[in-house]
A = this chain, B = another copy of it.
Amino acid sequence: MSSTHKAVRHDVMRAGNLAVVLGEIDRSGPLSRAALAERTGLTKTTVSKLVGDLIDGGMVVETGAVRDGERGRPGVAVRIHGGRVAALGLEVNIDYLAGCVVDLTRTVRLRRRLPADNRTAPPAEVLTRLGELGTALVREAAALGLAVTGAQLAIPGPIDPASAVVHHAPNLGWRDVPVADLLDVPVPVRVDNEANLAALGELWFGAGTALGDFLHVSGEIGIGAGVVVGGRLFRGAHGFAGEFGHVVVVPDGVPCHCGGRGCLERYAGQDVLLGAAPDLATLLDRLATGDPAATAACRSAGEALGVALTSAVHLLDPDTIVLGGVFAPLFAWLSKPVADAMASRLRRMRGTAVPNLIASQVGPDAATLGAAGSVIMRVIADPAAFLAETLSA
């Protein structure tokens, strides 16, 4: 074996061991070096060297003395450091732009949301404005001592994350838009579907693993869903799984921007709900006072949602359904028609195996948070790649 080959092997092994140690600190920290050696099966010398590298890279930090699990002696422990490494989450949606900065402990450090009519503006203009938002957030993060290591952008439409091209986002009116090329931020950017990222936002920043396998429905002007199975996104063969807004609820129904007819989002999307009020705040006010038009709008949207969810439950069989986006604040008015439509169709065949229905615990920033969280998860999964970038920068 040549010495080059040996060096390559050593680097691969070190990268794997760094990930094992950081993963253990992330899941179970604070932990002493001795406890880390016991849990990982690595020698104390190796652990000390790796922890040193992680401290130098600003990813972990020594904390006060803790009891060592094995021997009962107090020792210095290490935990994930929230003061240095951060990620940028960005979102283009139909009627707003949003961004956030999350640190390595998954603490949200900065949030921004700008109203915008992204249906009328050309994609390049929308993405220029978002680039300014993202660049400002990176600068503000730096002022807090945070180095933003990467960004992820949420887009409301099916996207192939490998190419970062939006083939067709019907509600934005975008076709074959090379999103990553048009977005100018000072860090590398990946792109993913908004509904997928909102589901991950719920998993990492909301109700989390208590949900079991879940379907997270993002109610916006379009309706998307993220399918989380065993703690991971179910993406399908082309990355397009979970396009819930285009589940057919009325075969010969209203034409949809997607080219189909009778798609769910024509019966339960935000535009339909806001047929009963000029904006969400007013709709909530009118619902609170029992306004009949507002109540009827929620009931009929809830019924359509319940029919589409019935189909989704028959196909996907989740433990839990999470209603997010605008459906979360409207949950008190939507949940009964949704649950009734589902129960009447599912109860007889499935017994007690009818999924729980809950409102999102994260709120309107779910996709932005999921986007930033994805970057953080990649850093935690491969700290060696991050450290190499930091050293070469």
Q: Is A16 an interface residue (CB 8 A)?
A: no
Interface segment, one of A132-140, A329-337, A341-349: A341-349
Chain B residues within an 8 Å CB radius of A381: none
| Contact among B229, B238, B307, B317 for A353, CB-based, below 8 A | B238
| Proximity bits, A341-372, B CB within 8 Å = 1, else 0 | 00011111111010100000000000000000
Chain B residues within an 8 Å CB radius of A353: 237-238, 240
Report yes or no: B239 in contact with A317, Cβ–Cβ below 8 A: yes
Report yes or no: A345 in contact with B315, Cβ–Cβ below 8 A: no
Cβ-closest chain B residue relative to A213 = B237
Report yes or no: B348 in contact with A317, Cβ–Cβ below 8 A: no
Q: How distant is the Cα of A213 from the Cα of B346 in the complex, in angstroms? A: 27
Q: Is A295 an interface residue (CB 8 A)?
A: no
Report yes or no: B319 in contact with A237, Cβ–Cβ below 8 A: yes
Interface segment, one of A60-68, A78-86, A148-156, A245-253: A245-253
Copies in the complex: 2
Q: Is A244 an interface residue (CB 8 A)?
A: yes
Question: In the complex, which range does the number of interface residues on chain A fall in?
Answer: 35 or more
Chain B residues within an 8 Å CB radius of A349: 157-158, 167-168, 170, 243, 246, 258-259
Q: Is A260 an interface residue (CB 8 A)?
A: yes
Report yes or no: A345 in contact with B168, Cβ–Cβ below 8 A: no
A317 and B237 contact, Cβ closer than 8 Å, known pairs A158-B350, A258-B349, A310-B248: yes
A347 and B311 contact, Cβ closer than 8 Å, known pairs A213-B236, A237-B319, A353-B240: no
Residues of A205-260 at the interface with B, using a CB-CB cut-off of 8 Å, are 212-213, 225, 227, 229, 234-244, 246-251, 258-260
Q: Is A318 an interface residue (CB 8 A)?
A: yes
Name A's B-contacting residues (CB within 8 A): 157-158, 167-168, 170, 212-213, 225, 227, 229, 234-244, 246-251, 258-261, 303-304, 307-308, 310-312, 314-319, 344-351, 353, 355
9 contacts between A and B (CB under 8 A): A167-B350, A212-B237, A238-B353, A239-B317, A240-B317, A240-B353, A243-B314, A251-B307, A315-B316
Besides A170-B349, A213-B237, A315-B315, 16 other A-B contacts (C-beta < 8 A): A167-B350, A167-B351, A168-B350, A168-B351, A236-B318, A238-B350, A240-B317, A240-B353, A241-B316, A243-B315, A247-B311, A249-B251, A258-B345, A259-B347, A259-B348, A260-B345
